[in-house]
Chain A
Amino acid sequence: DAGITQSPRHKVTETGTPVTLRCHQTENHRYMYWYRQDPGHGLRLIHYSYGVKDTDKGEVSDGYSVSRSKTEDFLLTLESATSSQTSVYFCAISEGASSGTDTQYFGPGTRLTVL
């Protein structure tokens, strides 16, 4: 299994509070991703990173920011949590497309509840 951990695994917070989720990898992969998973919506990409300090938006980036100061860590921050951000959040990693193909590997997920 790919070495990907997420912390915390569960969190309950209140509307308006800041929340930071952490993804840590031991694979030295270049790309890291944050997804959210909601019933009826499958997986939706929030943000991704293609290197240290290099990030870009996904399809549902509003209300989220990310940072990557080290290869192994990718942080997702909700500046002011809202109930619509209650979800399960998954981190994923991939090596990058030097060979023309690539594979994503997923972390165990963080279940976030915003009251």
Chain B
Amino acid sequence: EVQLLESGGGLVQPGDSLRLSCAASGFTFSSYAMSWVRQAPGKGLEWVSSISATGNTPYYADSVKGRFTISRDNSKNTLYLQTTSLRAEDTAVYYCAKNPQNIVLVTDWFDPWGQGTLVTVSS
């Protein structure tokens, strides 16, 4: 069974940094692209970032470009999202999700999703 388990969320102040992790199991992690999607409290879903299976090709939403960095360690079956210069509007549950193949394509969907980790940015 495919499992994705996020961790690393918490309460931080504006301008702080946080590294989110997503531990994957139940599939060959190194063969699939992965993504982060977030959901602000009571709001809809927002794609944040995606990365190819090799980790060579990252993609970012304009809202996080230059502040967030996606990466992965295929030897540890773990996906990361390094967040910096956090703002109040970054407050959200951050989900990691598996893409359908090894490269990121415009046709991609996200399946499955982890249970999410909450990031709260507040002074």
A joins B in a complex:
no
Q: Which residues of B contact A (CB under 8 A)?
A: none
